[in-house]
Amino acid sequence: MEIAVRFLGTRPRTRHELAQRLRRSNVPDPVAEATLERLAELGYVDDAAFARWWAEQRDRHAPRGRRRLEAELRQHGVPRDVIDAHRDEHASPARAPEDASLPGSEAERAREALERHLRGRPLPADGKALQRVGMFLMRRGFDPETVRAALRSATDRGDEVKASGDEVGDAW
């Protein structure tokens, strides 16, 4: 129990991460399973809560697309049914964001990631540079339609570059 609680001290963990940590510490399987069950009863191990926490941290510090976020959750050992429930919970239009400063939709997250990436610099006007910015967003897990929309939105705002929406579409 002491090993697991110390491991939980830095940030929330998934059941899978805790099981791996206990295995690395050579804790016998029955003891590890009993420890995980007890921590789950106490509310310290909850994969759904971890998924919500992870998504909020990503939205706050490094916005990611749905695909990348789900891949990260899978890497942390979150079961597929929990990921599916998390996706359904966050895809519903009636969802009210707990924190208004966090982006709510996929398009808002893409715009936020683009703004952070550009850091006040203008959106590039040439096709190759624009394509590189689009690929940056794709590597962050945003689908091509969302990337196109974010680039068009940034271009249409006119605060970064005087390019037409057709140039953005041609780069893609």
Q: Is 155 exposed, middle or buried (0-12, 13-18, 19+ CB in 10 A)?
A: buried
Q: Could you report the per-residue pLDDT of 57-101, keeping only the tens digit for each?
A: 988 888 888 899 999 999 999 999 999 998 888 765 544 455 555
Domain regions of the chain by residue span: 2-42, 47-91, 106-171
The total of other beta-carbon atoms located within 10 Å of residue 170's CB is: 11
Residues 13, 50: contact at Cβ < 8 Å?
yes
Q: Could you report the per-residue pLDDT of 14-61, keeping only the tens digit for each?
A: 999 999 999 999 999 999 999 999 999 999 999 999 999 999 998 888
Q: Which two tokens stand for residue 128?
A: 């190759």
Residues 18, 8: contact at Cβ < 8 Å?
yes
What is the distance, to the nearest Å, from the Cα of residue 59 to the centroid of all Cα atoms in its chain? 6
Instruction: Of 47, 148, 75, 71, give the one whose Cα is nearest residue 107.
Output: 148
Instruction: Of 129, 124, 131, give the one whose Cα is nearest residue 148.
Output: 131
